[in-house]
């Protein structure tokens, strides 16, 4: 029974790794999700977005985050590093594109 449990856990982890790799292919080319500290992070993020000509496309109501579209021609990796170094920012990630109700 114990061996069966270990095999089952291994298969779940293997499937999760395969699913993660597939999802990485479906990231937005110009949209970032920026999570920030509750106290003063939002003002810092909004100021940084103005300086980099990034457009705020969504301001999340129940979590401390905004979705930003970076300027055309801007380097995504440089923008991720820039926003990551902004005071009060907790994390920056590319927006993932998900398809719901897809059948094969």
pTM over 0.85: no
Is residue 102 in a domain?
A: no
Is the Cβ–Cβ distance between 22 and 71 less than 8 Å? no
At 4, the pLDDT band (50, 70, 90 cuts) reads: low
Q: Is residue 68 part of a domain?
A: yes
At a CB cut-off of 8 Å and minimum separation 6, what does 93 contact?
32, 33, 80
Domain presence at residue 71 = yes
Give me the pLDDT at residue 22, please. Answer: 47
pLDDT per position as a tens digit, 16-55: 655 544 445 687 788 999 999 998 899 999 999 999 999 9
Count: domains in the chain: 1
Say which CATH number the domain at 43 has.
3.30.70.80
Residue-range definition of the domain harbouring residue 47:
28-95
The separation between the first and the last C-alpha atoms of the chain, rounded to the nearest angstrom, is 35
**Is residue 11 included in any domain, yes or no?**
no
């Amino acid at each position: 029974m114990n061996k069966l449990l270990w095999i089952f856990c291994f298969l779940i982890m293997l499937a999760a790794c395969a699913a993660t790799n597939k999802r990485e292919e479906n990231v937005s080319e110009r949209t970032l999700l920026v999570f920030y500290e509750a106290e003063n992070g939002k003002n810092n993020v909004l100021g940084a977005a103005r300086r980099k000509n990034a457009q705020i496309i969504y301001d999340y109501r129940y979590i401390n985050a905004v979705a930003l579209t970076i300027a055309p021609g801007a380097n995504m990796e440089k923008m991720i590093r820039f926003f990551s170094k902004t005071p009060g920012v907790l994390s920056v990630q590319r927006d993932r594109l998900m398809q719901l109700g897809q059948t094969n």
